[in-house]
Amino acid sequence: MNMSGMTFTVDDAVAIARVAHQGQVDKSGNPYIGHPLRVMGRVSGEHARMAAVLHDVVEDTVVTAEDLLAAGCPPEVVETVLALSHREGEPQEDYLRRVSADPVALVVKRADIADNTSPPRMALLDQPTRDRLLAKYARALDLLDQHA
């Protein structure tokens, strides 16, 4: 239950993400919130949609897991968001193993990578950045496939 006594909804998750990411821009200078909204659009089911729109909130903003729980976000969604949050200094393989252990996180991570590597987004980046990111995401998908 959130503070109004109502059940936490996907719209509540979107509202938290919009506030958390306010003022942030992506690598091409567009408002960052577009990315989590597009990732959310690539998944189905309330748990996955909530986790998708919140997937970068704990990692990239001042919002904590405790803040999400206090706002009424379901604990299982917060667990998935934490699985998707890359920790400082954490090896990529350890991070992706944790993502793979949560079936919803795995679906969201694949949608995240699909958005990050989409042709319209890649077209906005210079070639060295594009090459570096494509190699990084190809390796991530390989590791996810190994752990799945």
Calculate ∠ Cα 96-102-106, nearest 5°.
60
Which residues constitute the domain of residue 113? Answer: 10-146
| Most distant CA atoms of the chain, gap in Å | 50
Asked if the structure places residue 65 within a domain, the reply is yes
Asked if the structure places residue 2 within a domain, the reply is no
pTM assigned to the model: 0.91
The CATH number assigned to the domain holding 141 equals 1.10.3210.10
Q: How many domains does the chain have?
A: 1
Asked if the structure places residue 76 within a domain, the reply is yes
Q: Could you give phi then psi for residue 71, rounded to 5 degrees? A: -80, -5
- At 88-142, the pLDDT tens digits run 999 999 999 999 999 999 999 999 999 999 998 899 889 999 999 999 999 999 9
Asked if the structure places residue 99 within a domain, the reply is yes
